[in-house]
Amino acid sequence: MTKDRVLQKNIQPPVADKQPQVLELHGDRRLDNYFWLRDIDNPKVVAYLDAENAYTTAMMQHTETLQTQLYDEMLSRIQETDLSVPYRKDNYYYYSRTEAGKAYRIYCRKQGSLDAPEEVLLDENELAAGHDFFELGVFDISPNHQILAYSFDTSGSERYTLFFLDLNTRHFYPETIADTYFSFCWGNDNQTGFYTKIDTANRPYQLFRHTLGTSTESDELIYHEPDEAYALYVDNTRSQAYILMTLRSSITTEVHYLDANNPRSDFQIIYPRHPGIEYDVDHHSDYFYIVTNEVATNFKLVKTPLTAIAKDNWQTVIPHREDVLLSGISLFANHLVIYERKDGLQTARVQNLSTDDESNIIFPEPTYAFSEGSNPEFNTTILRFNYTSLITPPSVFDYDMETQERELKKQTQVLGGYDLTQYRSEWLMATAEDGTQVPISIVYKQGIKKDGKNPLLLTGYGSYGASYPASFSSTRLTLLDRGVVFAIAHIRGGEEMGRKWYENGKFLHKNNTFTDFIACAEYLINEGWTANTHLAITGGSAGGLLMGAVINLRPDLFQVVVANVPFVDVVSTILDTSLPLSAMEWEEWGNPNDPVYYDYMKSYSPYDNVAAQDYPDLLITAGLNDSRVKYWEPAKWTAKLRELKTDNNILLLKTNMDAGHSGASGRYESLKELAFEYAFILDRLGLV
């Protein structure tokens, strides 16, 4: 045993006080010994978090040199002074850039030509000075390009303060607006702005109309959404003709529209909410285009005349298909871009609205990620999109929708001589316990052998219909170059294989998410990619719930676990309607006030199912100001695991006392957090 290991064994972990709290519902009694950790005003709570942080630091002290090495290695691959690809809007070119030694972005523009002098619009580094945390929310320039509306948060709580800056004089307007969310839009008069306010549970629930230069006390409340299951967002159509107010729950949508040229007028409804009916709206010429799941599980596209928007007038443009998910559309003056998923992979096609001719945008790799880029202009034939894969760095393309030619505008530079031919990615299929084929994206350095000896890091998410992107990460090379295989389990609860893939991983089918992940792990072991003694897993937020559930079910299957801001106290959190993960989440997880859902949620809730058994090595992270997953969930989970687990494996809780759900802000501090996690994984897998 090394000296460091001896020192570790002599360090005693904190032991949280047990203060029994009985929680009773539906005749069921749950005993929560650590309920008291919810009280942040109790000095013992902060003392406990500090003690856990001190213990974590002590237990990881022997890796400090490794952490520095990993940080320096990851930083050395990044082009610190860099420039985004400028995009054009009217007579301006907008872009952002970074400078070496500065943690945040600088937003700029040039007028008329890329050879024109640079105008700095906003320097995040100046705004972040003196703050331990900084995050930009709104960044929205008025239609005449003269006024910048922007907001930021300095706590990690996702409560933003909104400002208005005259870009000609560089003077601020006197009004500031606190407790806003990150959606905003301008009326075409360049004087009227629409913003959303959030309630005590951080739900955007009110829409206000503001006139530039006036007191916010006179702002008009346009809409108040009383239903706690709905959030409110506001945006412009690309045509700039309409402002859309979208009210969205997990399974239901309602959209209202307003003439952007007459921003003092009233919003009109497009289609009243009906439970289970979702839709998104865009505008072109005399029609609204609507992507909806109305009698269309995988969604369809319809259009309706502006003069007769009632559902009876909806005209089908793209019908529903069982084998293709319609992910969304994008409208330009003469083109319709159609985004779809088939057989787990993203596809795109472009339709000429004058001729109905179509072209396909083809992607060559077995697994990849694709998204639309910055396309603010309506009257253009150029579609900008982003492409990446597990081995291809982020790439920005301009695609000519008339000629079908694509131009690579930029590929993110990876310093240090990165050669993608030295790595390989694959698309695999595991068989779930019910026979379902579950996709896995995997990447590794050429030359590894499938002999069961490879360290492997497996991740997944599987909630909210979010498809896990198979995207490139220069920081991941730090693992790949050390022989670690990286894999993504595209489990049910996401939307990779269509809408039913999502629906079969939620509500009373949630256990499919966990058993799919276990099946993927077993497949990778059985196929010789790794062994349980070399297998690490990681997930964050709802992916942290995944981590907690699978180690309760199969603690023997994994050697190392990293759970970032894990949502683990499922029943108690969703019962508490004062929290963000409560009423808004009932349409994702179920309402535990219903005994059927209560029993089912309790059956997989990681906190409620901690058992007296051996667990893998565990690193759990939290953010004190996290508004999505409150700090006490990972803290309570840690305390209960310490009480009940029967092994001598390491259990660490690391709480960022200055951040929220996304962890540290600024690229350098974020890299340090990642270096810490990688050091934990490499250390516990015996790779150092």
pLDDT per residue as tens digits for the range 614-630: 999 999 999 999 989 99
Contacts of 10 (CB under 8 A, 6+ apart): none
Q: Catalytic annotation on 556?
A: no
The CA distance from 398 to 400, in Å, is 7
Task: Report pLDDT for 584.
Answer: 81
Q: Catalytic annotation on 534?
A: no
Confidence tier at 661 by pLDDT (50, 70, 90): confident
Which residue of the set 219, 626, 627, 665 is catalytic? 626
Confidence tier at 579 by pLDDT (50, 70, 90): confident
Task: Tell me the average pLDDT across 556-579.
Answer: 95
Which residue of the set 541, 572, 627, 665 is catalytic? 541
Decide if 401 contacts 382 (C-beta within 8 A).
yes
The CA distance from 461 to 345, in Å, is 17
Task: Report pLDDT for 2.
Answer: 52
What digits encode the pLDDT tens for the residues 113-134?
Answer: 999 999 999 999 999 999 999 9
pLDDT at 343 over 50: yes
φ, ψ of residue 5 to 5 degrees: the values are: -65, -35
Mean pLDDT, all residues of the chain: 96
What digits encode the pLDDT tens for the residues 353-364?
Answer: 999 999 999 999
Task: Tell me the average pLDDT across 49-58.
Answer: 98
Confidence tier at 1 by pLDDT (50, 70, 90): very low
Percentage of residues of the chain with pLDDT beyond 70: 98
The torsion defined by the Cα of 408, 98, 173 and 225, in degrees rounded to 10, comes to 60
The CA distance from 46 to 606, in Å, is 23
Confidence tier at 662 by pLDDT (50, 70, 90): confident
DSSP state of 494: B
Beta strand spans in 142-230 (E): 147-153, 160-166, 177-186, 192-198, 204-211, 220-224
What digits encode the pLDDT tens for the residues 411-434?
Answer: 999 999 999 999 999 999 999 999
Confidence tier at 166 by pLDDT (50, 70, 90): very high
Strands 535-540 and 456-460: parallel
Q: Catalytic annotation on 626?
A: yes
Confidence tier at 62 by pLDDT (50, 70, 90): very high
Q: Is the dihedral of CA 500, 506, 507, 510 positive or negative?
A: positive
Task: Tell me the average pLDDT across 591-617.
Answer: 98
Q: How many CB atoms lie within 10 A of CB 176?
A: 13
Instruction: Tell me the residue length of the chain.
Output: 688
Which residue of the set 283, 284, 534, 661 is catalytic? 661
What digits encode the pLDDT tens for the residues 423-465?
Answer: 999 999 999 999 999 999 999 999 999 999 999 999 999 999 9
